Chains A and B, each alone.
Chain A
Amino acid sequence: MGTQKANVYIPDLAVVEDIRVENPYTRTYALRFLDPLLARSFEFLPAQGAMISVFGYGEDSCFFSSSPSSRGKVEVTLPVSRGVSTALTMLEKGNMVGLRAPIGNGLPLEEMRRKRIYLIGHDSGLIPLRSLANYAVDNPTEFERIVVMGSFEEDTQLIFLSELLGVWPGHSIFDVRVFCEHILSPREGIRPGGIGELFDAVEPAPSNSYAVVSGPVPFMRDVVSHLIDRDFRDAQILLLLNRKLNCGFGICGGCKIGDRYLCLTGPVFNMAELRKLPPEF
């Protein structure tokens, strides 16, 4: 970061070190940069993304899902859709991908210090939130409390199960609630319900707190109205938007919302900023 690359289009090569299947549609890839210097010096913030390229198929944007404090190795999680994310499933350990990272502004960790953080995510929206949660696991003194509010359509779509049900609840600053709208095979820790039930169970309080929302657009709209009902101020609501990225440095215009580029001043917007932008969200 900071140093200007000679050619912004050229991805850095990274080796796939591990592939973990989160659910039938989602996989986590642990990557290590080929260049040892870069591997050691690479830094990113939670909710920053990368352009991942599978050579022969193109590039697609993705979020880092690992903690920024785990040096040397980064993890990205992608739900399988079309194009690159499908091509990724064909990769094996040891294969190489290209990575242009980090992209975007990331979460304002300084401002979020010693605050209560509500991480509200739906389905694959939890991917960037995991990055912050794991960061909190590594640096528990940074935050007052981390409340993970996971919402899923169906329990076949659950991701990061070991963390949601194992690692995070084991920490004192964490409070993890997972709700599923349709439960096919009940298990402990997963409760039936949607956003309404989730909010009733958690009762988020606005004082000294931040809410980070990520997920599909209708979900985010719902959550925002719930948060506003509970007296959250616009500046306390951080939304992670998802757009098509082509270049990742503010040229192509695919990610443009009004005069803001998602790849430069996004994907994290607070609600106050978003209200000034065209209502495309």
Chain B
Amino acid sequence: MGVSERRLTILGILCEHAGAQAAETAGMEGLIYSPDVRLMRLLCAADIDHLLILNALWEGVDGIFVVGCPTERGYFRGCSELAQRRLQAMKDVLEVAGLPAERFRTLWIEASDGKGFVSFVNSFYEDIKRLGPWNGFRGKGE
């Protein structure tokens, strides 16, 4: 493997109540996805600090996805809608700044939908693979 073909790192931020459950369901159903995908769980997708996403991107994570509750059926009242709006704004910020907004994606899914989760992760992984690695900002600039 050459330097340019280093393994991808993809960060998945899962909400406790839908994303993490969906990942669990996928595990129980025996569905697999790339081992380069690292998952972390938070209480709620609407609670994601913008610095979490920015920091990940800055450190050179190749792709970030957020999985949260489906629209209008959030675990907390309105959490999914709020999260969608907030993260959409985040995407806009990345676009405005000239950063690769396509490396950031969201999914709003039922806790029982393991298949949906895995197919999303796989297609995201393929897209990121096509985009190639992202090197972040470490060591750039002065």
**Complex A–B touching at CB under 8 A:** no
Interface residues in chain A, defined as those with a beta carbon under 8 Å from any beta carbon in chain B: none
Interface residues in chain B, defined as those with a beta carbon under 8 Å from any beta carbon in chain A: none
